[in-house]
A and B are shown apart, each in its own frame.
Chain A
Amino acid sequence: MVKIIICVIAYLILAPVIGGLLAGIDRVISARMQGRHGPSVFQPFYDFFKLLEKEPITVNNVQDFYIACFLLFIVVTGFFFFAGMDLLLVIFTLSLASTFLIIAAFSSNSAYPQMGAERELLQMMAYEPMVLITAIGFYLYSGSFNVADIIHNSKMSFPYMIGIFAGFLFILTIKMRKSPFDLSMSHHAHQELVAGLKTEFSGKTLAMVEIAHWYENIFLLGFVFLFFANGTIAGTVIGIVVCLVTYFFETFIDNNFARMKWNVALNSSWLVAITLGMINIVVLYFM
Chain B
Amino acid sequence: MSYVTKSPWVIHYDGSSCNGCDIEVLACLTPMYDVERFGIINTGNPKHADIFLVTGSVNEQNKAVVKQIYDQMPEPKVVVAIGICANNGGIFRECYNIMGGVDTVIPVDVYVPGCAARPEAIIDGVVKGLGVLAEKRAAMDNKSAAPAAAEPKAEENTETEGKEEA
Q: Which residues of B contact A27 (CB under 8 A)?
A: 36
Question: Do A202 and B74 have beta carbons less than 8 Å apart?
Answer: yes
- Contacting pair A37 B34 (CB below 8 A): yes
Pick from B4, B29, B47: contact of A50, CB below 8 A: B4
User: Could you say which of B13-21, B38-46, B111-119 contacts chain A?
Assistant: B38-46
Q: How far is it, in angstroms, between the C-alpha of A31 and the C-alpha of B4 when the chains are bound?
A: 22
- The contact string, 1 if C-beta is below 8 Å from chain B, for chain A 15-52, is 00000000000010001001111111001001101101
Question: Which of A118-126, A145-153, A162-170, A188-196 touches B?
Answer: A188-196
If A49-B3, A50-B4, A206-B48 touch, whether A39 touches B39 (CB-CB below 8 Å) is yes
Interface of B is mostly: loop
Within 8 A of A (CB), among B1-59: 2-4, 6-7, 29, 31, 34, 36-39, 41-45, 47-48, 50
Chain B, interface residues (CB within 8 Å), range: 20 to 34
> How many of A's residues come within 8 Å of B, CB to CB?
31
* CB pair A36 B36 closer than 8 Å: yes
Given A34-B31, A39-B37, A203-B74, does the pair A46, B6 have CB atoms closer than 8 Å?
Answer: yes
Q: How far is the CB of B32 from chain A (nearest CB, A)?
A: 9
Indicate if the CB atoms of B140 and A199 lie closer than 8 Å: no
Q: Is A143 part of the binding interface, using a Cβ–Cβ cutoff of 8 Å? A: no
Q: Within 8 Å CB of B42, what residues of A?
A: 189
Assess whether A47 is in contact with B37, with CB atoms less than 8 Å apart.
Answer: no
SS of A interface (majority): loop
A27 to B34, CA, bound (A): 13
Residue of B39, B45, B47, B76 near A47 (CB, 8 A) is: B39
Query: Does A57 belong to the interface (CB within 8 Å)?
Result: yes
CB nearest neighbor in B for A191: B44
With A34-B31, A54-B74, A195-B43 known as contacts, the answer to whether A202 contacts B140 (CB < 8 A) is: no
Binding site for B on A (CB under 8 A): 27, 31, 34-40, 43, 46-47, 49-50, 52-57, 186, 189, 191, 194-195, 199-203, 206
A sample of 21 inter-chain contacts (CB < 8 A) reads A34-B31, A36-B34, A36-B36, A37-B34, A38-B36, A39-B36, A43-B39, A46-B3, A47-B7, A49-B7, A50-B7, A53-B4, A55-B74, A56-B74, A189-B29, A189-B42, A191-B44, A195-B44, A195-B45, A201-B47, A206-B48
